[in-house]
Structure 1
Amino acid sequence: MVLGTTGQVGDALMRAAWPVGVALTGLSRPAIDMARPETIDAAIAAHAPDLVVNATAYTAVDKAESEREAVFAVNRDGPARLAARCAGRGAALIHLSTDYVFDGSKPTPYTEDDPVCPISVYGASKEAGEAGVRAALPRHVILRTSWVYAAHGANFVKTMLRLGRERDELGVVADQTGAPTAAADIAAAIARIAQRVAQAPQDAAWGTYHFTGAGATTWHGFADRIFQRLEAAEGRRPRLRAITTADYPTPARRPANSRLDCARVRSAFGVETPAWEDSLDRVLDLLLAPATQPSP
């Protein structure tokens, strides 16, 4: 059972190549709403899943700073209740989390064993959600990821394409580092993990893992790659200025280093982490494809 099918990862999960024999059920609001516990109870009771993938979250990072109660209801209380209901049903849970559980001060990629220290309301709510899942359900996989984008939904890639077509010059932050991660790659990783869990549930390597695109860049480098492709497709490329985090203040603080070490998920589940540039090119192939011309 996939929760959050209207989001970037949820949509990708419904399109993913699942193992033969999987009966996939997808739910989104109002059928499932992490802020309404009764919908969680009803969904588990009605569908009796063997495995739940929670791709729902309150992800408006800046808005979260002024809506603490709402964001904790969705990102902390909802997952904790979901995990408890999965435990009662005997189901396993794959729960998505984020690089924002770290403060970004470490100079090298974060491992799963590094201490968490969120610096935003959103990050604190996601860290609390992780803790709730761990406390309620031993049979869980928490998968942290970063800088998610897709051809579906709202994200940095689509925003840059829009602004690149509208403006002649853009300033983009160049002192935050991370790994852009395609929603389709996350979905493929989850399908792989689910297959391993189904094949040997008693021996499954439950716990917390990291999964992102391979390699790293800055938001400035990310934008530059997007504009290279925009220029090739449409002959349009805005001037790109490197700015600092201080030059672009936001309500929520962001980690300066969002890099996540993904060795553990590769070792435990055989999950590959594609190069972020290759995955971005595949999404841009869709977003920059010429519109289909009507037949004469």
Structure 2
Amino acid sequence: MKILVTGCFGQVGRCLVEQLSSVDGVKFIALERDELDITDSNAVTDVVQSFQPDVIINAAAHTAVDRAEEEVELSYAINRDGPENLAKAAEESGAAILHISTDYVFAGDKEGEYIENDETGPQGVYGKSKLAGEIAVANACKRHVIVRTAWVFSEYGINFVKSMLRLAETRDTLGIVSDQIGGPTYAGDIAKVLIEISFAIKQNNHKGFGVYHYSGLPHVSWYQFAKTIFNEANKQGLLNKKMSVTSISTNDYPTPAKRPAKSTLNNKKIHTEFGIEPSDWQLALKNLRRYTS
């Protein structure tokens, strides 16, 4: 199987490269923005026609949620136009496309968990541009799988876990938002899922393309997530003090972009179709030393 990965310097992209390097029967190329600008349709077509992948995994995205409020044109170029270019190239070459999306496509005001066909209602530019990307991909390529995920963290890049560990080096107290609820998701688990789905597509061992939710359990607030991180850091000897974590509201910590208050994703569909279990984010925190290097 031949796989083309875009956005290979992001959290999921780096995990994909790491994992694909040890998977038998796979030939892959992984490209970052300097090597392939996905907003350049001619460049995308050239790469796809040259490599002829069975599956394109798009891990490229403009994920700076607050900056997106100012960088509107760039957000739509990367989150909508780029995925559309990849999807069109996939359709023309007979490839399938796997595209990563987000819980931010929802308003965050539902009582229960969001399922795939719930009404969307993004609150900011990031969510709106990602939803536009979903629509563009679905319209451009019949053989598409869109995976919505949430609260991504890993050893790489900038994320909540790494930020908490860094802040703990110089702070003894932190106020963390407790009225936003979601499912932390380890990027390594997302990468594993994308590879599993790629094999299912290649082997024609699935019933349908479309939109799927994949995120971590249990659902928690950012406050609860932070408390767990610091408890693990103490257990693992990375912290020699007890962090004082205070619960604050979203209104106490205003940001340029509005976040969904409750964006818990239901993982039942992806389990039914592909046998995939939710991400175990607590297990992913068992070796926090990886996040400090």
1:93 is matched with which residue: 90, 97, 100? 97
**1:8 pairs with 2:11:** yes
**1:160 pairs with 2:164:** yes
Q: Which residue of 1 aligns with 2:258?
A: 253
Q: Which residue of 1 aligns with 2:184?
A: 180
State the SS of the aligned residue for 2:169.
Answer: helix
Matched-pair contact (CA < 8 Å) for 2:148–2:212: yes
**1:171 pairs with 2:175:** yes
Matched-pair contact (CA < 8 Å) for 1:35–1:78: yes
What number of residue pairs does the alignment pair up? 287
Q: Which residue of 1 aligns with 2:274?
A: 269
Tell me how far 1:215 sits from its aligned partner. Answer: 1.4
Taking the aligned partners of 1:125 and 1:157, their CA distance within structure 2 comes to: 25
State the SS of the aligned residue for 2:14.
Answer: helix
Mapping of 1:86-235 within 5 angstroms? 86-200=90-204, 204-232=207-235, 233=237, 234-235=239-240
Residues 101 and 59 (structure 1), Cα distance of their counterparts in 2 relative to 1, 3 Å cut: same
Render the CA deviation track for 1:40-95: whole Å, top value 9, x for unaligned. 22221221111100000000100000111110011011111110111001110000
Taking the aligned partners of 1:19 and 1:120, their CA distance within structure 2 comes to: 38
Q: How many percent identity over aligned positions?
A: 42
Q: Which residue of 1 aligns with 2:246?
A: 241
Tell me how far 1:193 sits from its aligned partner. Answer: 0.7
Tell me how far 1:255 sits from its aligned partner. Answer: 0.3
With 217-226 and 38-47 compared, the bigger mean Cα shift is at 38-47
State the SS of the aligned residue for 1:166.
Answer: coil
Tell me how far 1:261 sits from its aligned partner. Answer: 0.2
Taking the aligned partners of 1:154 and 1:275, their CA distance within structure 2 comes to: 20
Taking the aligned partners of 2:209 and 2:88, their CA distance within structure 1 comes to: 16
Taking the aligned partners of 1:62 and 1:280, their CA distance within structure 2 comes to: 26
For 1:211, the aligned partner's letter is: Y
Question: Any stretches of 5+ residues in structure 1 without a counterpart?
Answer: 292-296
Scaled by the length of structure 1, what TM-score is found? 0.93
Matched-pair contact (CA < 8 Å) for 2:100–2:147: yes
Tell me how far 1:12 sits from its aligned partner. Answer: 0.4
Render the CA deviation track for 1:158-211: whole Å, top value 9, x for unaligned. 00001011111110100000010000000111111111111117x542010000
